[in-house]
Structure 1
């Protein structure tokens, strides 16, 4: 080859040799995105762009630390959870990363360890997905003096001035302060409006602003200006002490969305020459008002007419799936067109502030009931959601995969500083230690583990803001507690599960702990997400029937105690038992897989049926009289928890074949057919009449869930001795109280029961 022709190739080779090798300090530039179901929110299949080509990430070794790095790189606060097995559908292109290992401190997924770019043995059925937490963080613009721009994500607080206000929890009255560029500033009251007060109160978790006479505050201001020992006069002459003006409409969900003006327009002049600081008074919702006291200011406005609303399946106070009561039945709201304005109306209606987040795509789980509302449009001034414009959901084609949810601003109560977890491997677990008054002084101590249960653990996890309780521990010998909290200061704790703090639960006056604390102190394990089991009530109603089954076919069921006690005295194998049989379909509508607490090594082998029981009592079946007396019962052990089918094309993860892992994946369901053993109630000894048929899933709360109120199915039942009729089947929280009372009244009238 001629020398002239070889020179270009030699030059290229030389340039490649002289190019510096990439180092760990210079990771390759990548771009991330979320694709698939939930793309409009904070979740989806994780895809990354490397060398100009989009690809996916394998779920092998992927964990919450890697998810947190990815979510921060996408612009969110962090990660809520992650999902495996192509939960959000299968991607295309290369699988760029496999066996991703992050410590959680990296600024980019490219800085984490892995097998290398494009080195993977994964298929797209293993594509990983993430659910990010918090809003998409905006980049704060720099505000020049005199500019009137949309504010960045500002912090706001009320600084109490009066003695009673300093002692109140939450703080409801005082001076408005805004943190801008790392410094707390006061807002000039010149031009301060009621709309500004409404937005400030909403941002701080209060549903309403109260009337406030500022003349007393004006007198205090003037006195401080004349006081030679006060620095207020000097500070108030500095423009950095002030924010000149806010121009809120009153519908903004956060003060940072109001136009603000740092200084007057035109030539430089004092920001607040003759004014003082703006003051507000907020009215807390009923949940945050002290018992037997009323909020200062004007009383709460008379409730507007409209459908009731509630939140379900939220880990924290003021968050959850939005449900509306229409025609006596609770139903959901379609998340299409769901925004902060509509979400704020819901939050204020429930006694919270404005909305922090308006969530779509069933980010707080799905419902099995009806969907009532779609295309909800609110101005922000409405008092109840029913005053907003909307259309019937049946006309929209919207499904439960788009159920709307909210996270509301709630007042700062300081409850998180009254409890802590010690000795655990992570901040989400450990020995429960509480701060309570002892002999006139506040003291840290442990909680007696006797009778400690999941309800109490749920309150602790909520109080700390770390999600749901996954386990309640009555023994914590493996977790060393704090040295200053060795004494038991709380015992006999009994919680309903809805309290805002553990100190609000019932407990002993004088401490009485038979176990003595120490290794028997109470502990908890918390989790950010949880499953939510709901039974298909309609299927129970449609599949119920009677069968007279010979005893010769019931020996195994008898061994597993699936028959009434009278079966023990029969002349086996002669005779029969009358069984009320039905099918059950149990859906996991939560945000995590439902898994038995016990591992496979602890499952119980049942020789007769030749299978393992992963949960000894998975469901209770009861036949009750109209006044609640149990006349027949049954139970079902979870001998095979698996994914029978899934919503939205999600992949099934659990199967019982070959001693496989058991569980119910999120968005999947497990079906127990009517023709398998113990899927019945033995009603051989039941007299004809009207009854209540009841099914309870996870009755012992052996596995934690995000919502236990929907674990019960009840049906009206009439038995004439030969036939049975089942009707009006519903989950326990599906109807309003008025509809349930009508049902009970009709049942009592039907049997002349007083």
Structure 2
């Protein structure tokens, strides 16, 4: 029988073999290696006063937590919610030389009287990369690989389930786990080592290393059984403080918090992707003076050094530094202006923005389209208006859940496009529909970067 034990990448230990749990933790940050510093004493957790707090102290915290390189000494007040007034401040004047294994080994003053929680210390450490998804459309969909003994290897699908996928998605900072697909296409299989099999997670773990599993040497798997994981795209965008939703300071949503993007390396290619992802047409040329009128952000700066080719369907597919790592201030926040207002058509309920039930906008209200007369020429126009590539199909809108609400209106029917129009509103059509129901809602499938990538593993069981 295969041996099962807890895997901590780089070496294997069981909970009973740990000398002790760390006496320090980072809370309220985007991941376990960043946040407000707290230390434990007699089973109670308290904060650390930032008097004397510096990078040498953070180096020790990062080492004790098994995180990577020390990256910063932010104020602990960046991490919300703030510490409760009743929570104690345990230490101040921490003085590490940077070589200690634990924060408790550093010189420090206990029993703090002249500090308040406005002076709580924070720490930013690099996230050690031990899990990744490769071969998919972006960093949140792909073949699962884990790092052990400084080598990357795959994970066998034996025993794999959605609970384990939830842990991977959480660890990577992606969205919720969707149904796991088992990679079987030759183009998406791994090579080399198969590190894990029979992974068993409850779904509540913060890291795959805390799940029960079997190590390399204890499985009979082949790369036909490599595990494929899909998480929701975490890159939600918005433009704020502009005249329309298609202009303003760019913000991205990560870990439930909106933050800005630094303009280092930012150019037309990146703006093309943002405008496309938001369904806002093409970038508009706006002088630097007009861009400077926007009020800088005051919260997190999530992304820096973003580099796109210009053809990507989502900013998630562009290269960028790790979440939260930057050398910027808010005077460098990206501002984007898109040439057109938002399209008068959208596709909803599908797996991506280029597939779904067709809806059109009229006077600020969205309604559906009756499928009487609906054909591929009509879909060609929808795909062109949404900048979604070639038309691929005319499915029933009822394929996309949840279905349209009974109170939602059906705005048009008998759409008759030549296929050359740039907007659906320019096609012949009948308004004020009386003889259609939502069982006849029209749908559309357009090509997209996501859709092309899906073709690599569309035949997986």
TM bin (shorter chain): 0.3 to 0.5
The TM-score, its normalising length taken from structure 2, stands at 0.36
Compare CA radii of gyration and give the structure with the larger one: 1
Q: Which has the higher contact order (CA 8 A, sep 6+)?
A: 2
